[in-house]
């Protein structure tokens, strides 16, 4: 199966734009294939945060395998290009709403890989109990 990540990335981008929010993408700066200018601030977790809103970048391409755009740093326009596998999140920094991706690389899944159903555990006491609603008013 194709990766769902590009679909979630594009849908979240559109959702943030439709709600008048600036979408920011958080990427792993040390992931293979990441090309960013030296002017970018890399945090302690090796991540870089880019505002990819329409007023911040131009020629944005949210592709099936890569993300690219033009952005200005210190009044110099740079081409930013990174693989989708480097994307850790797309969200609004104002309220934290968006989509965060785990480290699982979907492309490693194989279509013909058998699905391992969870094993049934021995029956335990049910922690829930049925409570009947009392219709009498107090």
Is 84 inside a domain boundary?
yes
Predicted pLDDT of residue 129: 54
Q: Has residue 56 been placed in a domain? A: yes
Report the side by side order of strands in the sheet with 76-83. 58-62, 66-73, 76-83
CATH number, position 57: 2.30.30.220
Burial-class residue 93 by CB neighbours within 10 Å (0-12, 13-18, 19+): middle
Indicate the number of domains in the chain: 1
Does 18 map to a domain?
Answer: yes
Residue 85 falls inside a structural domain: yes
87 domain-assigned: yes
47 belongs to a structural domain = yes
Q: Which of 48, 92, 88, 94 is nearest to 71 (CA)?
A: 48
- Model pLDDT, residue 135: 60
By residue range, what is the domain housing residue 45? 5-99
Higher per-residue pLDDT: 14 or 2? 14
For residue 126, being part of any structural domain is answered with: no
List pLDDT tens digits, range 72-131: 988 899 999 999 999 999 999 999 999 999 765 544 444 445 445 455 445 555 555 555
The answer to whether position 36 is within a domain reads yes
Per-residue pLDDT reduced to its tens digit, 6-63: 999 999 999 999 999 999 999 999 999 998 888 888 999 899 999 999 999 999 999 9
């Amino acid at each position: 199966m194709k990766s769902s990540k590009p679909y979630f990335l594009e849908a979240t981008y559109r959702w943030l734009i439709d709600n008048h929010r600036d979408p920011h993408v958080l990427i792993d700066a040390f992931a293979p294939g990441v090309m960013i200018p030296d002017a970018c601030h890399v945090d302690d977790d090796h991540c870089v945060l880019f505002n990819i809103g329409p007023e911040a970048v131009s020629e944005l391409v949210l592709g099936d395998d890569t993300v690219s755009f033009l952005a200005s740093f210190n009044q110099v326009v740079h081409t930013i290009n990174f693989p989708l596998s480097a994307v850790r999140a797309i969200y609004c920094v104002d309220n934290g709403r968006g989509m965060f991706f785990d480290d699982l690389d979907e492309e490693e899944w194989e279509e013909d890989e058998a699905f391992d159903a969870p094993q049934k555990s021995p029956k335990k006491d049910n922690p829930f109990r049925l409570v009947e609603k009392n219709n009498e008013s107090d």
